[in-house]
């Protein structure tokens, strides 16, 4: 920003926003807000923006958005569609600012929008489609090419002002440049055609042709809220501090500001800066600006009126340098981390970008609020380097234009909503109309008119007085004429002697002035050093704290390492125990399996043996049974033989058994049957239904539950025969013994032994078994 000379109407500069009273005193301008829509990537992509007129658009909530569905209308100074050419944008937006620039007025143009919305494309473009910056450079040189001041006559004083150099200094700088050409590749190099931009030949038509112009460029970036000079040729980019000049204008201290004499020289510098600019590859833009970049073009102009003896243009004393600046700012894009998925450094950058954009928004909102409510709330310019550097523009130091770049894709809807809100606020912010600016040099006094015409104390236009006549004609025939010529010569010589004296005195004066300037510089430097020292102290304190913390952390870390080692050892020993136990378990499992196999073999063998044994026993029992049955059969046959036929029985009268009888007299059959006491002759009771059965049963017989019951209509059941009368009862004629047992297969087998009760001679009774009934019950589901 350029200082204002004493000729400039004084503008009251406040630390706060430009007050309403200030505004009312001055002509007011609002920020010119334009909108540029980026073409959609894909024809099929849907847009959330509808153009209602060249100045009004509507933003519609897409169906998939969670926001309440509504339509917002925004008005801009002009809306450029996706089909708008770079030229169209330049002519509408930048051309008026350039016109102002060449008339000595400051201007700020910045692009604002979401990442990937076309800010860099609009401002820089590419070689085939140059953006605003290359077009501005070409237009400036197209307009002033014939009116350029010689190089190095004007030089930045590095304190935001300019100084005029003497011929000697100019010569010195030229010499330096010549020497450094081989070292520094910046200038006087053959122009690389690939790095240049197409020149459309656009011109500002009404430049003041009485003036001479010098153009200077500088290129800064604000990365993570730190200012860097992109044209600084030192190997590592050093952070720069922002300072206020004597007129309270913010500037980057020690920035490299280079005079350029052609568009190509300017592009070369821009390209050098561009290479240093921080770019990143994000999901939304493969070449995303990670910093805000500020390309400054300063044009210094002064009136040319006369030439000195050496033929140099003179700077008349009444015309000071007129300085104007155009700042082209490419803001980094706002980013929503959930869309960009940035991590690490990119995330940190994004947060800084969003923070600085937020402070820009806040400043503009406060400015707007102040203007609406007639209040004077301080504007928080100091919250970020970006707002601090641009502060003067918003306080009336120039025209301000903003291009809001918009990607109309529905995916950008929510970000676009915020951008539109910001645009609404910005377009209503009023700033004082910019004025022409004059330079207030810091170091050197510019030409002061002396009594002698064409003689200036300024080193840049110093002469030794009027020219000496080429030849002096002494005409002795005309002494008067000779006298006049000699007097003329004497007066010229007098002036020249005086001038020479002045000149010889001048170094002293200059030295004093220089001394004062150096002193001033010294004071500034000292204050800088002081603030740097304070900063350093703070940093040292911080670093001591950090070191102390680091020490604590190291101790803690050592403890943790020790504990970790112990735990590792414990883990190792536990692992060993587990391994041993695993081994034992495995052994046991193997042994168990072996034992199980052995047991299974033994069980199988035993089963075989038992089966064989059982088979043998069964066979044995069956054989025994068979033998018994045979015996019973034989008994039955014998009985049948003996007891039948009835006629024989009737023939032989029944003899009572006489116990007194000798065994010889007892019937033979009874002896044969083993019943020694049985009388030989007996009577068989009828088998008619009148038989009474003595049923001899166990205490709790298993119920047979079958229809196959022995048929005994009359019976007396006993569980044991305890006395003789149980069987000798003459009413009972039949005896039946029911025996239940399990057979070899575990099935219930009921045997009913039947026999006749026959009285014996001694008054007793005997049972002669004559029938066996076997009832075998088998489970239908039992496996055989
Ligand atoms: N109007 C346009 N016409 C054609 N292409 C465009 C236009 N605007 C942007 N683009 C293209 O879109 C891409 C992203 O644009 P650009 O890099 O300018 O975005 P940006 O807003 O500067 O992003 P960031 O904030 O991440 O730096 C580029 O490839 C660019 O060429």
Please write the tens of the pLDDT for every residue from 340-395.
Answer: 566 666 667 777 777 888 889 999 989 888 888 888 889 999 989 999 999 988 88
Is 333 a pocket residue for ligand 1 (Cβ < 6 Å)? Answer: yes
pLDDT (0 to 100) of residue 234: 80
Q: How far does the centroid of ligand 1 lie from the alpha carbon of residue 122, in Å? A: 8
pLDDT (0 to 100) of residue 586: 94
What is the distance between the alpha carbons of residues 88 and 54, in angstroms, rounded to a whole number? 13
Answer whether 166's CB lies under 8 Å from 460's CB. Answer: yes
- The answer to whether 333 is a known ligand-binding residue is no
pLDDT (0 to 100) of residue 286: 58
pLDDT (0 to 100) of residue 559: 92
pLDDT (0 to 100) of residue 335: 66
Is 392 a pocket residue for ligand 1 (Cβ < 6 Å)? Answer: no
Q: Which atom of ligand 1 is nearest to the CA of 287?
A: 17
| CB-neighbour burial class of residue 728 (10 A; exposed 0-12, middle 13-18, buried 19+) | middle
What is the distance between the alpha carbons of residues 390 and 399, in angstroms, rounded to a whole number? 12
- The answer to whether 722 is a known ligand-binding residue is no
Q: How far does the centroid of ligand 1 lie from the alpha carbon of residue 90, in Å? A: 16
Q: Which CATH superfamily is domain 657-776 in?
A: Kinesin-like protein Kif23, Arf6-interacting domain (2.60.40.4330)
Parallel, antiparallel or unpaired: strands 765-776 and 748-759: antiparallel
Q: Which atom of ligand 1 is nearest to the CA of 113?
A: 21
Is 287 a pocket residue for ligand 1 (Cβ < 6 Å)? Answer: yes
The backbone torsions φ and ψ at residue 64, rounded to the nearest 5 degrees and listed phi first, read -80, -5
pLDDT (0 to 100) of residue 330: 93
State whether ipTM is beyond 0.90.
Answer: yes
CA R_g for the chain? 65
pLDDT beneath 50, residues of the chain: 1-25, 186-189, 191, 316-318, 440-462, 647-688
Domain 20-432: top CATH class: alpha beta
All residues at 6 or more sequence positions from 323 whose CB lies less than 8 Å from its CB, including other chains: 2, 104, 162, 298, 299, 300, 301, 437, 438, 439
Q: Is 127 helix (H, G, I), strand (E, B) or coil?
A: coil
CA nearest to 72, candidates 431, 430, 406:
406
Which residue ranges make up each domain of the chain?
Answer: 20-432, 464-642, 657-776
What is the distance between the alpha carbons of residues 394 and 453, in angstroms, rounded to a whole number? 43
Within its chain, how far is the Cα of 680 from the centroid? 123
pTM above 0.80, yes or no: no
Q: By alpha-carbon position, which residue is closest to atom 2 of ligand 1?
A: 38
């Amino acid at each position: 920003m350029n200082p204002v000379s004493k000729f400039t109407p004084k503008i009251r500069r406040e630390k706060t926003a430009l007050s309403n009273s200030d505004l009312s005193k001055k002509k007011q301008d609002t920020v010119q807000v334009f909108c540029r829509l980026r073409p959609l990537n894909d024809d099929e992509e849907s847009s959330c923006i509808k153009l209602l007129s060249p100045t009004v658009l509507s933003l519609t909530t897409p169906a998939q958005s969670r926001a309440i569905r509504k339509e917002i209308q925004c008005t801009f100074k002009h809306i450029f569609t996706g089909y708008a050419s770079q030229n169209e944008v330049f002519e509408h937006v930048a051309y008026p600012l350039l016109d102002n620039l060449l008339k000595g007025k400051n201007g700020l143009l910045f692009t604002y929008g979401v990442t990937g919305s076309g800010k860099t494309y609009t401002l820089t473009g590419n070689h085939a489609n140059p953006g605003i910056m290359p077009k501005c450079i070409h237009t400036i040189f197209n307009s002033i090419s014939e009116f350029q001041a010689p190089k190095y006559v004007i030089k930045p004083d590095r304190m935001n002002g300019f100084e005029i150099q003497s011929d000697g200094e100019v010569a010195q700088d030229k010499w330096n440049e010549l020497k450094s050409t081989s070292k520094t590749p910046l200038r006087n190099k053959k122009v690389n055609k690939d790095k240049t931009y197409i020149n459309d030949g656009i011109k500002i038509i009404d430049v003041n042709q009485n003036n001479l112009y010098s153009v200077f460029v500088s290129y800064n970036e604000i990365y993570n809220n730190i200012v860097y000079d992109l044209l600084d040729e030192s190997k590592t980019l050093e952070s720069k501090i922002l300072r206020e000049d004597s007129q309270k204008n913010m500037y980057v201290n020690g920035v490299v500001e280079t005079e350029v004499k052609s568009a190509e020289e300017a592009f070369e510098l821009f390209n050098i800066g561009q290479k240093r600019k921080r770019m990143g590859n994000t999901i939304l833009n493969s070449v995303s600006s990670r910093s805000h970049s500020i390309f400054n073009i300063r044009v210094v102009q002064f009136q040319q009126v006369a030439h000195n003896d050496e033929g140099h243009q003179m700077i008349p004393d009444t015309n000071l340098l007129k300085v104007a600046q155009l700042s082209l700012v490419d803001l980094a894009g706002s980013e929503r981390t959930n869309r960009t998925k940035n991590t690490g450094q990119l995330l940190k950058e994004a947060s800084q970008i969003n923070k600085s954009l937020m402070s820009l928004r806040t400043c503009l909102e406060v400015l707007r609020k102040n203007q609406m409510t007639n209040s004077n709330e301080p504007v928080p310019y100091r919250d970020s380097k970006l707002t601090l550097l641009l502060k003067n523009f918003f306080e009336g130091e120039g025209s301000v234009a903003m291009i809001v770049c918009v990607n109309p894709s529905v995916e950008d809807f929510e970000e676009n909503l915020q951008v539109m809100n910001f645009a609404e606020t910005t377009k209503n912010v009023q700033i004082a109309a910019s004025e022409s600016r004059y330079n207030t040099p810091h170091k050197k006094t510019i030409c002061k008119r002396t009594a002698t015409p064409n003689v200036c104390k300024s080193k840049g236009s110093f002469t030794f007085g009027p020219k000496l006549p080429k030849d002096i004609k002494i005409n002795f025939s005309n002494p008067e004429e000779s006298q006049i010529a000699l007097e003329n010569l004497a007066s010229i010589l007098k002036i020249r002697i005086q001038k020479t004296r002045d000149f010889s005195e001048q170094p002293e004066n200059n030295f004093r002035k220089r001394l004062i300037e150096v002193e001033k510089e010294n004071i500034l430097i000292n204050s800088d050093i002081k603030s740097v020292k304070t900063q350093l102290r703070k940093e040292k304190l911080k670093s001591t704290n950090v070191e102390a913390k680091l020490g604590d952390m190291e101790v803690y870390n050592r403890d943790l390492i020790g504990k970790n080692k112990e735990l590792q050892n414990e883990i190792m020993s536990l692992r060993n125990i587990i391994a041993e136990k695993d081994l034992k378990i495995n052994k046991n499992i193997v042994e168990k399996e072996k034992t199980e196999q052995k047991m299974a073999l033994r069980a199988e063998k035993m089963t075989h043996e038992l089966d064989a044994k059982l088979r043998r026993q069964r066979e044995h029992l069956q054989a025994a049974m068979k033998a018994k049955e045979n015996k019973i059969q034989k008994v039955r046959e014998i009985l049948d033989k003996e007891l039948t036929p009835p006629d024989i029985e009737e023939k032989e009268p029944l003899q009572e058994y006489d116990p007194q009888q000798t065994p010889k007299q007892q019937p033979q059959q009874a002896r044969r049957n083993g019943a020694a006491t049985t009388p030989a002759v007996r009577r068989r009771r009828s088998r008619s239904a009148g038989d009474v059965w003595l049923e001899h049963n166990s205490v709790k017989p298993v119920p047979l539950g079958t229809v196959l019951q022995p048929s005994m209509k009359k019976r007396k059941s006993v569980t044991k025969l305890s006395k003789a009368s149980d069987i000798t009862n003459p009413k009972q004629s039949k005896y039946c013994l029911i025996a239940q047992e399990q057979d070899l297969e575990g099935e219930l087998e009921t045997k009913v032994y039947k026999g006749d009760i026959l009285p014996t001679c001694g008054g007793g009774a005997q049972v002669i078994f004559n029938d066996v009934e076997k009832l075998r019950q088998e489970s239908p589901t039992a496996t055989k």
